[in-house]
Structure 1
Amino acid sequence: MLSHFTAVRKLERSIFPMGFTKEATDRNTKAGTNIISFESSERALLNRLIVDYTGDGGFGFVGLQEMIDAAGAKLWWHFRQGGTVWSQFLMAKYCGRSHPVVKGWQYCDSHIWRRMVNIRDMIEPQIVWKVGEGNVNVWWDNWSGEGAIAELLNIRGKRQAKDLLKDCYENGRFGLSKFGIDVQNRFEGVCLREECRDVAVWKPTGGPFNFKTAKALVRQQGTTGGLWCKKIWAKGVTWKMSFAAWRVFKGKLPVDDVLRRMGYQLASKCPCCVNPGCDNMQHVFGLGETTRHVWD
């Protein structure tokens, strides 16, 4: 990803120097991306930056949501590592019965906990436990490097299970025969080291957590602007319409289904149609009577 680029704006009542356009095109072609952008107005330059950022080979701008998700990943990492008063408090408050990997959240829970749970499914597969004493959950901790055993073997009813890995060794070999499950020597490489403690390893680095790799992971698995973003942030589309379209695609309009996700319970009724339906995004912008009349 680029860390430097050049943006050139043409002054009013002037022209670019002779050969400038060709030189800029040649440099961009050689670099394989846009390292020089040139437009005739500030708005055109801003449009170019927004469009190029949302596609592949952008200018390296970091979105606010990307930073929030990466910070949530860091919180989850420290929580799963344990060993702090903060992690022990969260375990006692939210995970007294269920394992953190399968624990959900409610609207009465803290904002921090909800943020951590929302990013959990993306981050948890990147946390691998280096087995030492074997004080890791045999069902939900990723000690095998392949994922949680309960998910790998499609075993249900283990949300509250607290069986430890060290309790599943028979005659020096790992097995789940005590639970009536045959793993067929699938995890023969796993061994206990009683003199060492269990250590969490961040898979992208093979060691401790790294914020840069967390941002890259969020960027890779997150949604990008794609074609629709290139269409709304384009020349000829007014700012008012561009931002309205952006809010529609991002689900940032105060329709009833959005308010319901925020915890507000209310009767939903569209005020625009003769036969009103639920006031949600699909109805207001796609399926409603008034909407179909506008699009037709």
Structure 2
Amino acid sequence: MKATWNLLTSNTLWAVFMRAKYIQNRSLTSIKLVTSTSRTWKDCWHCLEDIIEHSTWEFGPGNFSLTHENWMGIESLANKVPINCPQYSLNFAASRDFNLPLFSTQQQEYLRSQYRQLKENLQEDKRIWPHSQDGKFSIKSYIKLTQAHNPSYAILKRIWASFVPTKYSMFVWRLFYDVIPVDSVIIKCKIPMASKCLCCTNTSQESTIHLFIKGTLATYVWSHFNLMFDICPGGTISQTLELWFQRGRKGSMEQFICTLTPLMILWEVWRERCSRKYEEKHQWQSCSIIFKIRFWIIRLCDRFTPRRKSSE
């Protein structure tokens, strides 16, 4: 992302060379990726759409796309015009007083108003990153922007809370992105295999949702703790975590317990699955998982100092 921003805004020798070779004064959205191009340009090309959509302009002449650049600071007009419409520059549209067949009379009046309000007395147009105070792109500001638009961010943030043991955080993070090697994930990698869930009384294919949420073992363990904490069961891993993470005030013992409990359940279900699969002398006792989880919650609670009282 940073390299793409520099390519579009910088006047370094590298940026000038890349623009001359790959952009050539064309509209950025019209540039197609060619397989023979360099790896650097391929990486930059994949970031162009995000940069264009989330940046805006301080403009004088307006020598950039009228419809595919976010020059009003709200969003681009790309979704309001046909896909194969002519590519006009803002400068060209302003010279025609926005009397273009692409827009209705009401839209033309609105664009004229926005243009007069935003146009500045500048010799050159300047791309601006409005998500930082100095108008320059930074990785930190981009991460904050993407996190704000990511509904999973609150769950991931809780998983990596400072009081959560790292082994739980790392495991559930991998589970959240479906990279734990259950049978269904391995099969997706084009590795043929016969799949059977060892944590079920019935013969079922092992998948992430089945093993950790809907299987016999998982249902047994979740039901015990859902009943204990009066929490409704979730249909997916993210739904389940969200339901648990909604409980308790920030910094309270209740929040601490309702954060650790679902993470421990997922961890212990995976450990039990691996033991059943790879240990010949392992005794299949589902109730032992509940005892382990309750034991470790009590141990960890002794080390936690709450800052607030739990909810009534």
Query: TM-score under structure 1 normalisation?
Result: 0.50
In structure 2, the residue corresponding to 1:169 is in which secondary structure?
Answer: helix
The 5-angstrom pairing of residues 23-172 of structure 1 reads 72=1, 74-81=2-9, 84-91=16-23, 99=29, 110=39, 113=42, 117=46, 120-121=49-50, 123-151=51-79, 154-158=80-84, 161-171=86-96
CA displacement at 1:142 relative to structure 2:
1.1
SS at match of 1:200: strand
Alignment of 1:181 onto 2:109: no
SS of aligned partner of 1:168: helix
How far has the Cα of 1:202 moved from its partner?
1.7
2:299 maps to none
Contact 2:183/2:195 (<8 A) preserved: no
Alignment of 1:233-252 (within 5 A): 233=164, 243-252=170-179
Describe the superposition over 1:13-67 as per-residue Cα deviations: whole angstroms up to 9, x where unpaired.
Answer: xxxxxxxxxxxxxxxxxxxxxxxxxxxxxxxxxxxxxxxxxxxxxxxxxxxxxxx
Q: Going by fraction, where is helix more abundant, 1 or 2?
A: 2
Q: Residue type of the partner of 1:169?
A: A
Counterpart AA for 1:174:
F
After superposition, the C-alpha distances for 1:228-255 in whole angstroms (9 at most, x for unaligned) are 4459815xxxx65554334213433235
Contact kept in structure 1, 2:29 and 2:49, CA below 8 Å:
no
Measured in 1, the distance between the counterparts of 2:34 and 2:207 equals 24
- CA deviation vs aligned residue, 1:231-290 (integer Å, no higher than 9, x gap): 9815xxxx65554334213433235776788xx45668633265444x543233223466
**Counterpart residue number, 2:246:** none
Q: Relative contact order, CA 8 A, sep 6+: which one is greater?
A: 1
- Greater strand fraction, Structure 1 or Structure 2: 1
Tell me how far apart the structure 2 counterparts of residues 281 and 125 of structure 1 sit (CA, whole Å).
Answer: 35
Structure 2 gap segments, 5+ residues each: 224-312
1:254-273 correspondence to structure 2 within 5 Å = 254-255=181-182, 264-265=189-190, 270-272=195-197
Which amino acid is the alignment partner of residue 233 of structure 1? V
Q: What runs of 5+ residues in structure 1 fail to find an aligned partner?
A: 1-71
RMSD of equivalent CA atoms? 4.7
For 1:185, the aligned partner's letter is E
Alignment partners' CA distance in 1, 2:60 and 2:209: 52
Percent identity between matched residues is 18
Q: TM-score, normalised by structure 2?
A: 0.48
Contact 1:174 1:190 in 2 (8 A): no
* Structure-to-structure mapping, 1:13-32, within 5 angstroms: none
Give the direction of change, closer, same or farther, for the CA distance of 1:120–1:254 in structure 2 (3 Å limit). Answer: farther
Contact 1:78 1:87 in 2 (8 A): no
Q: CA separation in 1, counterparts of 2:185 and 2:26?
A: 31
Matched residues in 1 for 2:88 and 2:183: separation? 44
User: Could you tell me how far apart the structure 2 residues matched to 1:276 and 1:214 are?
Assistant: 43
Partner of 2:286: none
Q: Answer yes or no: is the 8 Å Cα contact 2:174–2:180 preserved in 1.
A: yes
